[in-house]
Amino acid sequence: MDYLTLLSVLDGTVRTAAPLVLAALAGLFAERSGVVDIGLEGKMLAGAFAAAAAASVTGSPWLGLLAAIGAGILLSMVHAYATVTHHGNQVVSGMAINILVAGLTPTLAFAWFQQGGQTPILQAGERFESLALPLADMLGGAVPVLGPLYREVISGHNILVYAAALAVPAAAWVVYRSRFGLRLRAVGENPSAVDTAGISVAKLRYQALVICGALTGAAGAYLSTAQGAGFVRDMTAGMGYLALAALIFGKWRPAPTLFACLLFALADAVQIRLQGVAIPGIGIIPVQFIQMLPYVLTVLLLAGFVGKAVAPKASGIPYVKER
């Protein structure tokens, strides 16, 4: 593999990683507050639909992003209402959201746009375009090795990719340095202690889920208004679950989670490269086996290369105040 091919694989990695990172960070806030969120997949899908629908109607990707964030938060509030207010089972609630959205998005698209469950294809001004960072072309030609890396891999992405990149240190700061983050970690480990200290467990979990909804919405908007040009049914294709796996692999910490996302994205980028290529000694691997690479990788990683991953202690357990 020559250098330029490597760069294009890395470029593809960054593109695929961006929505994974946003969704995984969303899961991080939810799980750190003690709420398991299998519904990431559904919220992303809702975000993708809302963004494409709003962008198509209004002509602005920014309004699309706003709609996506709104949709994500709305579904998060449903999750919070079921699991925090009514102490419902968190996995069931998340699955309900996934199934509901999987049905609702094509239903609404079918009724609103009459295009067989898709949104209209977004035109140039209705999408997030890629941005060339300053001096990308000049440095790319003039500086060896690092120049092309800058031009191909770092420059030339849309704003949401850079937002995802910034979200990682921001999330780390919030979780480890802010007062909210301290309480967030505490409520995920020992809610009754937080309650005893006079802080509302329910309020903190609602807040965490608002952040979670906003991030998943943005991740969905990326899929339909930046990476793609419009909504197609089931366009998340398991990405929400991969994000959850990345979160576990990253041990519920922002930086390792980022690397887990990059690893999954790399597997995906390599997977696309490998299609139809004859590998010495093996020959051409059927495309379906290559496509399952990220899923197999997830199973393998969760099966034993994670080390001891300890989830936030209260994660998955509804908090019921003693009376």
Partner 1 sequence: MASGTTAKGIGKGFGQPGEVPAWVNNALLPVLNLVAALVVSSLVILAIGENPLAAMEVLLYGSFGYPEAIGFTLYYATNFIFTGLAVSVAFHCGLFNIGGEGQAYIGGLAIGLVGLTLGGMPWPVVAVVAIVAGALGGAAWAYVPAYLQAKRGSHIVITTIMFNFIAASIMTYLLVDVLIAPGQQSPESRQFDQSTWLPFMHQALAWVGIDIPNSPLNLSFVWALACCALVWVFVWHTRWGYEIRTVGQNERAAVYAGISPSRNIILAMAISGALAAFVGLNEVLGVHHRLILGFTGGVGFVGIAVALMGRNHPIGIVLAALLFGALYQGGSELAFEFPNINREMVVVIQGLVILFAGALENLFKARIEALFRRTARQPAAAG
Q: Which residue has the tokens 């005893």?
A: 196
Q: Are 69 and 213 in contact (CB under 8 A)?
A: yes
Contacts 24+ apart (CB under 8 A), 79-85: 79/35, 79/37, 79/39, 79/209, 80/35, 80/205, 80/206, 80/209, 83/35, 83/318, 84/35, 84/202, 84/205, 84/206, 84/209, 84/318, 84/319, 85/202
Looking at the Cβ atoms of 84 and 172, the one nearer to partner 1 is 84
Binding residues for partner 1, rule CB under 8 A, total 52
- In the bound state with partner 1, the residue whose beta carbon lies nearer, of 128 and 264, is 264
Within residues 25-54, the interface with partner 1 by CB under 8 A covers 38
Give residues with Cβ within 8 angstroms of 64, minimum separation 6.
50, 51, 52, 53, 54, 55, 56, 58, 126, 221, 224, 225
**192 in contact with partner 1 (CB under 8 A):** no
Is 200 a binding residue for partner 1 by CB under 8 A? The answer is: no
Among 54, 55, 219, 248, binds partner 1 (CB under 8 A): 248
Q: Does 111 bind partner 1 (CB under 8 A)?
A: yes
List 219's β-bridge partners, or say none.
none
CA distance 97 to 42: 6
| 284 makes contact with partner 1 (CB under 8 A) | no
Q: Rule CB under 8 A: is residue 82 a binding residue for partner 1? A: yes
Should residue 272 be labelled a site residue for partner 1 when binding is judged by CB under 8 A? Answer: no
Tell the smallest beta-carbon distance from residue 19 to partner 1 (Å): 17
Is 304 a binding residue for partner 1 by CB under 8 A? The answer is: yes
Residue of 62, 110, 150, 162 interacting with partner 1 (CB under 8 A): 110
By CB under 8 A, name the one of 3, 255, 296, 313 that touches partner 1: 296
**Is residue 278 near partner 1 by the rule CB under 8 A?**
no
The yes or no reply on residue 117 touching partner 1 (CB under 8 A) is yes
Residue 87 interacting with partner 1 (CB under 8 A): yes
DSSP result, 221-238: HIIIIIISSS--TTTTTT
Nearer to partner 1, 54 or 161 (CB): 54
Handedness of CA 270, 11, 255, 184 (dihedral sign): negative
Pairwise CA distance, residues 106 & 180, whole Å: 38
Binding site for partner 1 (CB under 8 A): 38, 78, 81-83, 86-93, 95-104, 106-108, 110-112, 117, 233, 238, 241, 244-245, 248, 286, 288-289, 291-292, 295-296, 298-299, 302-304, 316-318, 320
